[in-house]
């Protein structure tokens, strides 16, 4: 194999690694956003639970409106989290595909390196055999 082909394979490998890093960063951003949403959701639920009992009818109305508002916000956070999870599935699949491509490139590079080693070993063996044959013929002639 020529050096250009090996260099081309190395370039492809580096490109795949860069793509993997970029997609991994996207996954990290999605996971960070999901963690933020979950933390906000938990804070809202804690806030509902911490708000005291209301005094009288007016307090009950305010508490009820507050709970509805927080519940609506929580539903919005849940919808956003669901949307992020769905989009992260595509990113996760892309990451798996890139890992698969990178592994395939690594296997090709390893197989080609093994073929180069095998050919080099065969050439060395042939050269040694020729040298031994020349020595043997020289010994026979003398």
Q: Per-residue pLDDT averaged across 115-136, rounded?
A: 93
pLDDT at residue 90, as a whole number: 85
Q: How far is CA 48 from CA 37, 54, 57, 78, 88, in A?
A: 17, 12, 18, 17, 30
CA 94 distance to own-chain centroid: 8
- pTM of model > 0.85: no
CA 89 to chain CA mean position, Å: 12
DSSP, res 51: S
Q: Where are the beta strands (DSSP E) in 18-113?
A: none
Identify the residue with better confidence: 116 or 48.
116
pLDDT for residue 118: 96
How high does pLDDT run on average in the chain? Answer: 85
């Amino acid at each position: 194999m020529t050096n250009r082909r090996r260099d081309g394979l190395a370039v492809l490998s580096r490109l795949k690694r860069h793509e993997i890093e970029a997609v991994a960063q996207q996954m990290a951003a999605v996971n960070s956003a999901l963690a933020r949403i979950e933390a906000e959701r938990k804070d809202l639920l804690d806030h509902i639970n911490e708000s005291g009992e209301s005094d009288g009818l007016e307090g009950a109305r305010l508490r009820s409106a507050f709970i509805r508002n927080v519940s609506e916000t929580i539903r919005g956070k849940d919808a956003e989290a669901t949307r992020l999870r769905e989009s992260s599935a595509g990113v996760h699949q892309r990451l798996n595909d890139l890992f698969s491509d990178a592994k395939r490139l690594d296997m090709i590079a390893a197989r080609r390196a093994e073929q180069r080693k095998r050919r080099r070993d065969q050439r060395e063996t042939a050269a040694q055999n020729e040298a031994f044959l020349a020595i043997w013929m020289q010994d026979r002639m003398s």
